[in-house]
Homo-oligomer: A and B are copies of this chain.
Amino acid sequence: MQATFPAEPQMSATAEEEAYRHVQRALRFGRYKPGDRLIPEEIAAEIGMSRMPVREAFRRLASDGLVVLRPNRGCVVAGLTVDELYEIFEIRSVLEGLAVRLAMPRIDEEEFEELDRLLERMERAGQSGSSDWVVRHQEFHGRICALSRRPKLIHQISALHAVIEPYMRIWFDDCDKPHSAREEHAAVIAALRSGDELQAEKVMQDHILSTAPILAEFVSPSR
């Protein structure tokens, strides 16, 4: 329903939808910096529509936490404080932990091979320095979430990914190594293979929480 997790087909039907996707995409790719003002008229001109659908899109983006809307003061790109970033990772940890737990019974051998493939692709993207490591990484997490077969859960997790994506990109661009990502994700797969749902849930939680402090380096220090 929203927030391109691994990928999203579906042609935009309404102008509002188009504006929503357009701005969301721009935000996720870091085209605007936190604090930047988004001027409805400019964006409307970019996509060739009037301000109205753009304004409506802003409401949804604000609900997603991607922008902040203040009365009579317009729309500014949301920035995260360190606290907020940690909070998002705490929430992600329990949500994706739940997803893993629910996904486990659904994973057969074929699916394990797919996960291995995704891990491999992520690794290759990481080594080649290509910044679609971020995309691959989300693809991996997204695949597991999808297996939980819980639309609302998937939706919420994907919204959180959208919020942190810009920081993931900065992180990746800054230090070329995707750190110990390979082992961590391999551990998730291993835990899934073990068949112990609670154990797998915990491994995913730990994995997510472990990356929070790393990303925290990249949020603007004070505000």
Which residues of A approach B to under 8 Å, CB–CB? 13-14, 16-17, 52, 55-57, 59-60, 62-65, 71-72, 84, 87-88, 90-91, 94-95, 97-98, 102, 150-153, 156
* CB proximity of A44 to chain B, nearest CB, Å: 15
Question: Which residues on the B side are within 8 Å of A52 (C-beta)?
Answer: 52
CA distance A165 to B184 in the complex (A): 40
Judging by beta carbons under 8 Å apart, are B91 and A153 in contact? yes
Judging by beta carbons under 8 Å apart, are B71 and A14 in contact? yes
Q: Say how many copies of this protein the assembly contains.
A: 2
- 18 more contacts with CB within 8 A, not counting A63-B63, A65-B152, A91-B153, are A16-B59, A17-B71, A55-B56, A56-B59, A59-B60, A60-B62, A60-B63, A87-B150, A87-B152, A87-B153, A90-B102, A90-B150, A90-B153, A91-B95, A91-B98, A94-B94, A95-B95, A156-B156
Chain A's interface: helix, strand, loop or mixed, by majority? helix
12 contacts across the A-B interface (CB closer than 8 A): A13-B71, A16-B59, A17-B71, A56-B59, A60-B60, A84-B151, A87-B152, A90-B150, A91-B98, A91-B153, A91-B156, A94-B95
Question: Which residues on the B side are within 8 Å of A59 (C-beta)?
Answer: 16, 56-57, 59-60, 63
CA distance A71 to B14 in the complex (A): 7
Top 7 nearest A-B pairs by Cβ distance? A63-B63, A94-B94, A59-B59, A13-B71, A94-B98, A14-B71, A87-B150
Interface centre among A16, A17, A59, A87 (most CB of B within 10 A): A59
